[in-house]
Amino acid sequence: MQGFTDTLHKVYGAKLYDDITTLADDVDAIFLESVDGRQHRAQFAQLAVGKPVFIDKPFATTTADARAIIRQAQATQTPIMSCSSLRYAAGIADLIGADEKVLTAETFGPAQLLEDFPGLFWYGIHSAEMLTLLMGTGCQQVQCIERADMDIVIGDWGDGRAGVLRGARVGAGQFGCVVHTDQGIKYGLAQAAPPSYYLMLREVIPFLQSGVSPIDSTETYEITAFLAAAEQSRAKGGAVVALEAL
C-alpha cells in the first residue's frame, strides 16, 4: 500500500490529507476505495458534501448501513454510485439482448470466506451483482445451502422466477453465468480483456461528471439485502429468509 501512496504522491503529485473531511472540500469527485463495506457508512458520513461519490464494492455489509448511506446521500444531495466491476465485464454485460426476457439465471464464481468479514460479502458480491444485472430487481427471499466447498443461494423473485448464485471455494475461480431466456439458453464467462474495471470506469467517469448514476440506489440496496439475507439463511441452517425492504 505504501508503494501505491508514494507513486501517487511523488510521481503524479497527488496531495495527501490527514483527514477525509478536508479532502472532500478540495476535490471535485470522490472514489471511496477502502473496499471494506463495514467502514463505508462512517466514511461516507464525512464525504457527503454534495459531490459525486463512487463507492467500491461492497456498498455495505448490513441493510442498516446501506439504508443510512442512501438516506444521507439524499439528504445532502450527494450523488452516489456503487457496483462490482463484474457488472460491466465482457462476456457478461453483453450476453443478453435488449429484446430478450430472462426466465432464470445462475451465476457462479469464487466465494472464499474470511474469518473477520461477513461471508459472501467478500467475493460473493461479484456473483450477486451479476445475478441482479441479469434477473433485475424484485428478489423477495433467499435460501443459502452451505457445503464445505461452496454455497448455493436460491433467490425467489416476486414475479415467480428464481435465480441461483453458486459461490465456490475450490476450482478455477472463474466468474460466469448460465441464462435461460425466451430465445434460448446462453452461457458466458467474464473475460479478462478488456479489463472489467476499465469497462466499469467508462460508466463511472460520466457519473462523476454529471452526477447521474446509471445504477439506481434501490438496486444497489437490493444486492446488499440479498447477501445479508443469504448470511442469515446460512446461520439458520438454510432457512428461507425474506429480504429487508429499503
For residue 173, the model assigns a pLDDT of: 83
Measured CA distances, 16 to 8, 10, 56, 79 (Å): 9, 10, 20, 24
pLDDT mean across residues, the chain: 95
Decide yes or no: CATH 2.170.130 for domain 86-192+225-242.
no
Specify whether the CB–CB gap between 188 and 107 falls below 8 A: no
Instruction: Return the pLDDT at 1.
Output: 56
Task: Give the model's pLDDT for residue 118.
Answer: 81
**Span 38-61, pLDDT tens digits:** 999 999 999 999 999 999 999 999
pLDDT value of residue 117? 81
Residue spans of the domains in the chain: they are 2-85+196-215, 86-192+225-242
Do 2-85+196-215 and 86-192+225-242 agree at the fold level? no
Question: Mean pLDDT lowest for which of 34-38, 149-153, 189-193, 215-219?
Answer: 34-38
Is the domain spanning 2-85+196-215 CATH 3.40.228.10? The answer is no
Mean pLDDT within 201-224: 97
Quick one: CA dihedral 86, 87, 90, 93, positive or negative?
Answer: positive
Range list of H helices, the chain: 2-6, 20-26, 37-47, 63-75, 124-135, 196-210, 217-235
pTM of the model: 0.94
pLDDT of residue 113: 82
Percent of the chain whose predicted confidence (pLDDT) is above 90: 84
CA nearest neighbour of 27 among 43, 9, 14: 14
